[in-house]
Structure 1
């Protein structure tokens, strides 16, 4: 039935329509940041806050996302996400600095809802053996959206101005919203039919568990000792995944922020050349995002995760020991950052037994990861200023990639031992 599991192609299309709106609207301003600064009178610190604010909000707004999913269900959360991104995108393009920041904040809160709800949708609607593939597609499409935002926003701004260029992304969001509105209505009607007209919420007012992967939580009536043990093991996996995502996100944002300047200083590249070289770090993420599920379909997930870990570590070590090969390290690091995200978020649908567990685990992992991501760029910049070079910042990135390696492999192997492939 539709309520139990919609057809997979429609699930993937819905997640793709959502994913394209989860990064492009916050990446687009980076392509025209100079124009925004000049027009609304932002200082350098203000410009940094404008680009860093979304990551901080991702961390702080995750409890709101969890409560929203618990109270209203995944489909309503998707609609709130896309509606918020649409409203924020329009507001951001209308007024002075305060309005630009307000619109950015609205977009960021809305995107947080989407960040948390996607693993819930995947856990509920995607067959176990397709989880890694759909997670990889989701990650890849977010990177495609980021790349499209970087490539198209500046040329469009040259024609119509930065405000219209940023507002143009509202069209993409509106298309996604148009897809999800009837999808959410059909889901609600199917759930109401399944539950005797009670609607998507059970007697307690919370969304009914669906998807056939176990509706009972660890404390449900009739829970066994083995179920409780599984609950404790899952909590440990979530803790370790949080450490892994801290390393993943912090390494990604530190590298994204400082790689162009590092290449300009160490290799003497022009701003255009260093930016183009650093863009390989973003583009190569698509390979990693799609490569992990392809390998995971043929072997255990820990195998591609180990390969991703090696590629992540190669980035800081390569830039330290062989900076002349910076193009190679940009590519290997880019593959790693795309694949690392996919590996981490492929575990959540595997181990979560209910929609609520998936939402809670996703929220905890992303709260920790995005807080670390907020801190990493300024810490790396402080180390560069303190030492006058790039060795210390690269050692920081190395430590972060090692944290991803140890914690990520531990979590993946634990999930495969305790929740073996059916």
Structure 2
């Protein structure tokens, strides 16, 4: 007889390896085209808004496909969902490189829909398989590796495009996706064999014997409800926190995708950098996120939950203001903004697994935050491109990033403060 599903938990190192190889593929495929925008425009005739849709469409799918993601997790389980995610990303990467503009957009849509599965399933995997006191570190590693993948594509795509053309350059990153898919196929098969044919139903995760604070001063791990009134109160509190984190994530994701889509072009226009040099400079924005992603859990372990949010918000605001006031120091502002974007993602999604009372609630909260946040962020790259074209400059797009940074700060600070209350 198969062992109880809840007793089958993979070893933590393999959990982290699985999350890392998945994370490498959850942003890089949609970042790669931003490093070769001039080549794509020259070959396809796309305008500024059309190029913005190469990042905007996947973000739109992040929002629209979240119900599909939650149903897929519920129906097939987390491991199979990851396999479907990586298979879809690989297929979309190949399709996007094959034909004219409609085919490019079709592949981009498939990439976005597939990535949505990964976006939603990672918090479920972390909640289910990672000890409470390591949730922040695991979320930080997930966020950091996404940015490592983005940095690698920004650095590697222009030289590949110069040698083989932009289509082969962006298609070549499918090799990384294929390797991750192979890993997860083996991992999923081994877990299926261990669990037998019995599906694993979502069940509340037991509270640890020695409760670990969910965040400094926070409510601790979920405990069994005292009754219907306690359930209702906990449910209302969870909804309020989710709504506030949603506002914060609207600002976070909007600022991130607008900056990612247009920073290489901005640097080329304002500083006269060649495509390879502007891509390399913009990659600082991605690599600095590692500091933020891994640093936020360290700060949160020693302070109140809202303090990292304030620090991250201040760093986010420094990016657009710095580029406006002292553009010659673009390296400094790119690094500060990179720390902010890595730290902001980690700060928001470290809260969700800690306050959720079950795997299903974690998936639902993550889906709501990501659906609303990515829907709001969908407009950011094309709007920033339109503002640039309409004003013939970068002041208006940078003010848009500043406004989104303010929204992140307001929503995330309020959500973190509420998460600390018992």
Q: TM-score scaled to structure 2, two decimals?
A: 0.86
Using the alignment, how far apart are the partners of 2:326 and 2:39 within structure 1?
36
The answer to whether the aligner puts 1:181 opposite 2:185 as a matched pair is yes
Using the alignment, how far apart are the partners of 1:103 and 1:131 within structure 2?
34
Further displaced range: 146-155 or 6-15: 146-155
Further displaced range: 177-186 or 298-307: 298-307
Shift of 1:222: 8.3
The answer to whether the aligner puts 1:132 opposite 2:136 as a matched pair is yes
**RMSD after superposition:** 2.8
The answer to whether the aligner puts 1:208 opposite 2:238 as a matched pair is no
Q: How does 1:138-149 map to 2 (within 5 A)?
A: 138-149=142-153
The DSSP-based 3-state class of the residue aligned with 1:282 is: helix
Q: Tell whether the 8 Å contact from 1:348 to 1:361 is kept in structure 2 after alignment.
A: yes
Q: Tell whether the 8 Å contact from 1:68 to 1:77 is kept in structure 2 after alignment.
A: yes
| Structure 2 residue corresponding to 1:410, chosen from 403, 407, 414 | 414
| Structure 2 residue corresponding to 1:240, chosen from 240, 244, 249 | 244
Match of 2:273 in 1: 270
Further displaced range: 148-157 or 389-398: 389-398
Match of 2:69 in 1: 65
Using the alignment, how far apart are the partners of 1:343 and 1:106 within structure 2?
29
Q: Tell whether the 8 Å contact from 1:3 to 1:191 is kept in structure 2 after alignment.
A: no
Using the alignment, how far apart are the partners of 2:168 and 2:55 within structure 1?
18
> CA, structure 1 residues 179+354, in 2 after alignment: closer, same or farther (shift >3 Å)?
same
The answer to whether the aligner puts 1:361 opposite 2:365 as a matched pair is yes
The answer to whether the aligner puts 1:168 opposite 2:172 as a matched pair is yes
The answer to whether the aligner puts 1:43 opposite 2:37 as a matched pair is no
Using the alignment, how far apart are the partners of 2:246 and 2:358 within structure 1?
19
Q: Tell whether the 8 Å contact from 1:213 to 1:354 is kept in structure 2 after alignment.
A: no
| Structure 1 residue corresponding to 2:115, chosen from 95, 111, 116 | 111
Using the alignment, how far apart are the partners of 1:329 and 1:173 within structure 2?
31
| Structure 2 residue corresponding to 1:331, chosen from 335, 351, 363 | 335
Shift of 1:390: 4.3
Using the alignment, how far apart are the partners of 2:327 and 2:51 within structure 1?
30
Unaligned runs of 5+ in 2: 209-221
Shift of 1:21: 1.2
| Structure 2 residue corresponding to 1:79, chosen from 71, 78, 83 | 83
> CA, structure 1 residues 379+161, in 2 after alignment: closer, same or farther (shift >3 Å)?
closer
Using the alignment, how far apart are the partners of 2:40 and 2:325 within structure 1?
38
Using the alignment, how far apart are the partners of 1:168 and 1:385 within structure 2?
31
> CA, structure 1 residues 268+290, in 2 after alignment: closer, same or farther (shift >3 Å)?
same
Using the alignment, how far apart are the partners of 1:142 and 1:313 within structure 2?
22
Shift of 1:118: 0.5
Shift of 1:90: 2.6
> CA, structure 1 residues 258+118, in 2 after alignment: closer, same or farther (shift >3 Å)?
same
Match of 1:150 in 2: 154
Deviations 1:115-170 (A, max 9, x none): 11101111111111111111110011011111111222232333444443333222
The DSSP-based 3-state class of the residue aligned with 1:369 is: helix
> CA, structure 1 residues 14+264, in 2 after alignment: closer, same or farther (shift >3 Å)?
closer
Match of 2:216 in 1: none
Q: Tell whether the 8 Å contact from 2:50 to 2:382 is kept in structure 1 after alignment.
A: no
Using the alignment, how far apart are the partners of 2:46 and 2:393 within structure 1?
25
> CA, structure 1 residues 70+414, in 2 after alignment: closer, same or farther (shift >3 Å)?
same
Q: Tell whether the 8 Å contact from 2:225 to 2:231 is kept in structure 1 after alignment.
A: no
Further displaced range: 331-340 or 377-386: 377-386
> CA, structure 1 residues 319+256, in 2 after alignment: closer, same or farther (shift >3 Å)?
same
The higher-RCO structure (CA 8 Å, 6+ apart) is 2
Q: Tell whether the 8 Å contact from 1:3 to 1:187 is kept in structure 2 after alignment.
A: no
Deviations 1:353-403 (A, max 9, x none): 222211111111111111221222333444455556544443332222111
Q: How many residues align?
A: 402
Further displaced range: 277-286 or 134-143: 277-286
| Structure 1 residue corresponding to 2:34, chosen from 30, 54, 68 | 30
Shift of 1:342: 0.6
The DSSP-based 3-state class of the residue aligned with 1:212 is: coil
